[in-house]
Amino acid sequence: MHTVEFQSVSKSFSEKSIVKDISFSMRRGEIFGLLGPNGAGKTTLIRLLLDIIRPDTGEINVFGKLLNPTAKNRIGYLPEERGLYRKTELLDMLVYLAQLKGMPKKQAHLNAESLLKSLDFYQYKNKKVEELSKGMQQQIQFLSAIIHDPELIILDEPFSGLDPVNTKIVKTKILDLRAAGKTVILSTHMMEQAQTLCNRILMLNKGRRVLYGTVEEIRREHGRNSLIVELAEKEDLNAIREISGIKKITESGKLIEIFPEMGINAQILLEELVRRTNILRFEQSLPSLNDIFIETLESALNE
């Protein structure tokens, strides 16, 4: 069973098509990246998923069924526009939010205490939200999205406004959620975070699906099919030049990058290299998600 499944979903506002025939599915226990430039339709897609707006056509299933009020209590949402009860004390607010999602008060209390402790915020439990720094408020907002122990957690730009230390803390929390079998949707413009955290991604551009798959698959598909090799001895470079099927070799210090000719598999080339030279290290050169993001948008511009 998929945690979330969109089948040919489309949505227009005032006859302007915003989400165009989108299909994808999400598995339990994965971090799913929702990527795309400003205005691509990511928030609209999240609103569709949360049943805040309805699709014009297509079907959305959550936890294997059409979205219903019980399912909504199993979802946690950190919206892009933040909003907390500023005059309320931390612990009380978290308990209240969990109860709103159907959790009994006693359990809500236990959860709130445990989460506050996990971020080392327990000492602030009786502070009002407005007395906290912006970064702390941001983290409290994150906690308020998971206070009721949801199975599906939607995080819209969870790192915005956080310094590197707090970014790391939130990142660790997201990984903990995945380890606990939760499904996490991460909508972000921070490609580095998406690359390291996400199992799979969906990238939208102008409401259309332009990339979809595992990060690994997508990086390989967009790979340059080149090899980066560290040689024990520089003289080996001459031996490499004698290998047929190599289009180009570039050098950068101890590392060389070898570009095979069209139709030549990098793996076969590697076997030849190992036979003829003393290789200390090799890796297949893969583009970053950031490079792929830019390349995909640029090629869409030229269409």
Quote the least distance from Cβ 64 to ligand ATP, whole Å. Answer: 26
List, in sequence order, every residue forming a beta bridge with 61; answer none if it has no partner.
5, 66
Of the candidates 15, 38, 301, 303, which one interacts with ligand ATP according to CB under 6 A? 38
The rounded distance, in Å, linking the Cα atoms of 277 and 291 is 32
Quote the least distance from Cβ 264 to ligand ATP, whole Å. Answer: 40
Binding mask 11-30 for ligand ATP (x = CB under 6 A): --x----x------------
Residue 168's Cα: distance from chain center in Å? 15
Q: Which is nearer to ligand ATP, 75 or 97 (CB)?
A: 75
Of the candidates 9, 26, 35, 40, which one interacts with ligand ATP according to CB under 6 A? 40
Question: CB–CB of 211/202 below 8 Å?
Answer: yes
From the list 240, 227, 232, 238, the residue with the least C-alpha distance to 275 is: 240
By CB under 6 A, residue 49 contacts ligand ATP: no
Quote the least distance from Cβ 53 to ligand ATP, whole Å. Answer: 7
Of the candidates 33, 36, 55, 260, which one interacts with ligand ATP according to CB under 6 A? 36
Range in contact with ligand ATP (rule: CB under 6 A) among 39-47, 129-137, 191-199, 240-248:
39-47
The rounded distance, in Å, linking the Cα atoms of 83 and 29 is 28
The rounded distance, in Å, linking the Cα atoms of 163 and 140 is 15
Q: Which helix (H) or strand (E) holds 19?
A: strand 16-26
Quote the least distance from Cβ 11 to ligand ATP, whole Å. Answer: 9
By CB under 6 A, residue 41 contacts ligand ATP: yes
Alpha-helix runs per DSSP H in 8-89: 42-49, 69-72
Alpha-helix runs per DSSP H in 65-211: 69-72, 90-100, 105-118, 134-146, 164-179, 191-197
Cβ–Cβ contacts within 10 Å for residue 65, how many?
10
**Among residue numbers 249 through 288, which ones bind ligand ATP (CB under 6 A)?**
none
Range in contact with ligand ATP (rule: CB under 6 A) among 31-39, 158-166, 174-182, 192-200:
31-39
By CB under 6 A, residue 44 contacts ligand ATP: yes
Tokens at 70, concatenated: 């019980």
Binding site for ligand ATP (CB under 6 A): 13, 18, 36, 38-44
